[in-house]
Structure 1
Amino acid sequence: MRNLFSLFHKHFFVCLIISLILSLGLSYCLTPHALSNLLAISILIKEIIMFMMPLLIMGCAFQCMYHLKRGGILMICVGVVTICLSNALSAWIGYGVSHIVSTPALQQAYAEQTTLLLPAFSLVLPKWLANEWALMTGLLLGMLLSIKPSMLGAQLDNLSKSGIHLILNRILMPLLPIFISGYFIKMHQDGVLSTIFYTYAKLALMMMGIYLLYLFFTYYLTSGLRLKKTYIHIKNVLPAAWVGFSAMSSLAALPLNLQAAQKNTQDSKWVGGILPISTNIHLVGDSIGIPFLAMALLITYGHPLPDLYHYFIFSCFFVLSKFSVAAVPGGGILVMLPILMQYLGFNAEMCAFITALYVLLDPIITCVNVLGNGMLMLVLDKFHYLKESRKINEKFKAKQRLARLA
């Protein structure tokens, strides 16, 4: 059984593609009643995901903050603040670009379609803890117990590790392809699947163009506006980016990313302290891609786009939830589903669709995350350089004052 789970996680992307193909085949073969039962099962799985999500969010947030105890306090604080600002900037870029790209490219065709497939049954599980309270509890508890080593901290660390592994790897991840498949059957029965995927294929290409422009501009800026240096910095990170693309894991790319960051920053002390921490919380690909796709889905399903105030509230929780992202394929979108539902008005079908889009684009998103972490090291290196330069200038001025007094 353990080998079966390991094989599933290793080939999760392939399993998802196979499940989508099978769901389309079943939509042609099965009776409407059988399809209604499959849709009902998907809705039930959605309820299970939402029921377990507070535990997953709390455990991942605790893990993240508890292990921030590594390294100096100043280094950690500067790194975390920079990561939050970078994620927030990326989220607002995704929001802004979606108004330029998504609005003209999409039509509200889906809202006009007649719903042909309804679930055979429904079961609503109680919401026992709000996700934002679970997030805050995990963050605060992790910070408090990371200040001073204790037996309680170690026990909660082990408990959260085993709990995350059980919920994510043994329950939610195996259910995810079934959850998506049921809603794909519904979209196919409603006659909109081919139209939506044709449109979103073009949007995916546009999103990749946005990624390229953003990464080039940030690397160019952190390289002192010098093209040759920009080329060298990007070239050093590309092997790590390829590993992230092929393995769909930023952690798998961490060793190569560490080597690249050491080359780009001349062995800066920030690299060893911040890069392992930022790998799972500084997610440029997610921060641009998820809001971009979310705005496109709102337009597709006939919902109004959020105004600046409502998007600001969403972006705050969006940035905070990065501290609870699980390092597995599709983990970035799983913890975002409750936020998308609560603050952007997503329904279950929209959640299934954005989950499928995210997983299909996960290799590209992970590649961008790895490149974004390489860029973060350059930003922090610039901060360290400015700080050291200021110290040198202060010492030089102090020596001049002493010389004049003498």
Structure 2
Amino acid sequence: MNFLKKNLLIQIIIAIGLGSVLGNYLPEEIGRVFSTFNSIFGDFLGFAIPLIIIGLIVPAIGNIGKNAGRLLLITTAIAYGSTLFAGLISYGVSISTFPNLLNTGEMSQVQEATRTLKPYFSIEMPPLFDVMSALIISFVLGIGISKNNLQYLEGVFNDFQKVIMALINKAIIPFLPLFIFGIFLNMTYNGQVFVVLDTFIKIIGVIFILHIFVLVFQYVIAGIIGKQNPFKLMKNMLPAYFTALGTQSSAATIPVTLKQTLANNVDPKIAGFTIPLCATIHLSGSTLKIVACAIALMLVQGEVIEFGEMIGFICMLGVAMVAAPGVPGGAIMASLGVLSSILGFNTEQQSLMIALYIAMDSFGTACNVMGDGAIAIIVNRIGQNKVAAS
């Protein structure tokens, strides 16, 4: 029972399974009870998203700039470039393969001719400000804190981050399985569930292959720059990869990642600041998953995917990933604002994104952690060249 309470993935799998079955048997009156919960929780999630953005992004940007130096800027630029590369590769592969792989537009056709479970009542919870305003406020405050060394304001937002993390861990994450159960209950009731489950299975296969490609590419680049065998470097990092599979957290894997990075002949001082920093700002595997899942959901719902809009989404997602806390599922929580503001995802679409993301959270985290080791090798080489030049 304790294992079930602590394992969000298992809870979500059970919720999806029960919702997919019980939607065929539960009376409409009972189904509407769960629909009422979903309506209230969905409004609460919409209210919380701008607060989550500010609570995570402001301290993240403020803390990164606190000890700014040339290597720090270089590391941040490489991490952001790696995240963008993963997102763009994911976009290219997804837009090329998913239209043929998925039943595009089928969900929207099902929705037009089917019934739905209506809530008994709803409670409106308008957010204090919209998502884009929250993003702009976060960037202004975060940069201002980092540049002006505003310790008091930094402390205030660090405390606010604790409040937001408590909100996520105590008031959002525990109720997500029930929320997802309600979504799949309704989708079974109106005939959409098989389209969604078919989409889940196909997406997971494509994303796993993409992870492998991105990791090999990162280590080939690192091997060329560091003048080492890339596959030997990858082999040395495998303990960190498998540890991340278990912890689902880049932060929790830092001790193992650091140890294996040192085994790849990275200077201890370089590794000591690169690995913890990248555990916060480098989420190429997470970005890859989010982009692929977003495209898949848009396709099955018959939405038009515009190139310029997706490029803007990927660029903003790379920035939002800086705010992803070192906890399981942190990246998808940090991305909800960008999904809403740029792609127009509603609370139901965001919940499906959460379910898809968490189903593959272990592999995304493992990809992030392995990529941290590659960045450390590149930064180590750059640092050696600067020392030699001086």
Q: Same fold (TM over 0.5)?
A: yes
- Identity of counterpart residues, as a percentage? 24
Superposed CA offset, 1:263-311 (max 9, x none): 224325332112212212210111111111111111111111122x222
Q: Against the structure 1 CA distance between its residues 318 and 216, is the aligned structure 2 distance closer, same or farther, given a 3 Å change threshold?
A: same
Rounded Cα–Cα distance in structure 2 between residues aligned with 1:25 and 1:79 = 48
1:199-238 to structure 2, matched below 5 A, reads 199-224=199-224, 229-238=229-238
* Residue number in structure 2 paired with 1:352: 351
Q: Which runs of 5+ in 2 are unaligned?
A: none
Using the TM superposition, give the Cα deviation of residue 69 of structure 1 relative to its aligned residue in structure 2, in angstroms. 4.9
Q: Which amino acid aligns with 2:189?
A: Q
State the one-letter code of the partner of 2:273.
G
Q: Out of 39, 55, 80, which is 1:43 matched to?
A: 39
For residue 248 of structure 1, what is the amino acid of its counterpart? Q
Q: Give the equivalent residue in structure 2 for 1:112.
A: 109
Question: Are 2:364 and 1:365 equivalent residues in the alignment?
Answer: yes
Aligned-residue RMSD, C-alpha: 2.6
SS for the counterpart of 2:229 is helix
8 Å contact kept, 1:146–1:153: no
1-structure distance, mates of 2:301, 2:258 = 42
Task: Give the structure 2 partner of residue 387 of structure 1.
Answer: 386
Is the 1:58–1:324 Cα contact (8 Å) retained in structure 2? Answer: no
Cα distance, 1:226–1:165 mapped onto 2, change above 3 Å: closer
Structure 2: how far apart are the matches of 1:200 and 1:330? 17
Q: Cα–Cα, structure 1 residues 86 and 351, in superposed 2: closer, same or farther, change >3 Å?
A: same
Task: Give CA deviations for 1:303-362 in whole Å, capped at 9, x if unaligned.
Answer: 11122x222222232122112223322221122223223322323332222211111111
The 1:125–1:279 alpha-carbon spacing in structure 2 relative to 1, beyond 3 Å, is same
In structure 2, what is the Cα distance between the partners aligned to 1:227 and 1:176?
Answer: 46
Deviations 1:162-206 (A, max 9, x none): 312321111111121122111111111122322432343123112
Aligned to 1:240: 240
Number of the residue aligned with 2:330: 331
- Could you tell me how far 1:66 is from its partner in structure 2? 2.9
Q: Does structure 2 conserve the Cα–Cα contact (< 8 Å) formed by 1:220 and 1:227?
A: no
Instruction: Return the alpha-carbon distance in structure 1 between the equivalents of residues 386 and 357 of structure 2.
Output: 39
User: Counterpart in 2 of 1:317?
Assistant: 316
Between 1:329-338 and 1:202-211, the stretch displaced more is: 329-338
Choose from 69, 77, 96 the match for 1:73: 69
Question: What is the CA–CA distance in structure 2 between the aligned matches of 1:88 and 1:79, rounded to whole Å?
Answer: 14
The CA distance in 2 between the partners of 1:330 and 1:266, in whole Å, is 29
The residue aligned with 1:400 is none
- CA distance, structure 1, for counterparts of residue 20 and residue 73 of structure 2: 49
| Structure 1 stretch displaced more, 355-364 or 219-228 | 219-228
Deviates more, 1:234-243 or 1:110-119: 110-119
Aligned AA (2:75): G
1:370 is matched by which residue type in structure 2? V
Residue 262 of structure 1 contacts residue 268 of structure 1 at CA under 8 Å; is this kept in 2? Answer: yes
1:15 to 5, 11, 16: 11
| Alpha-carbon separation, structure 1, partners of 2:4 and 2:140 | 34
Q: Residues 10-159 of structure 1: matches in 2 within 5 Å?
A: 10-69=6-65, 71-108=67-104, 109-113=106-110, 114-120=113-119, 121-147=121-147, 152-153=152-153, 155-159=155-159
Distance 1:327 1:115 in 2: 41
Alpha-carbon distance in 2 for matches of 1:8, 1:195: 27
> Normalized against structure 2, the TM-score is what?
0.90
AA at the equivalent of 1:186: N
Q: Which has the larger radius of gyration?
A: 1
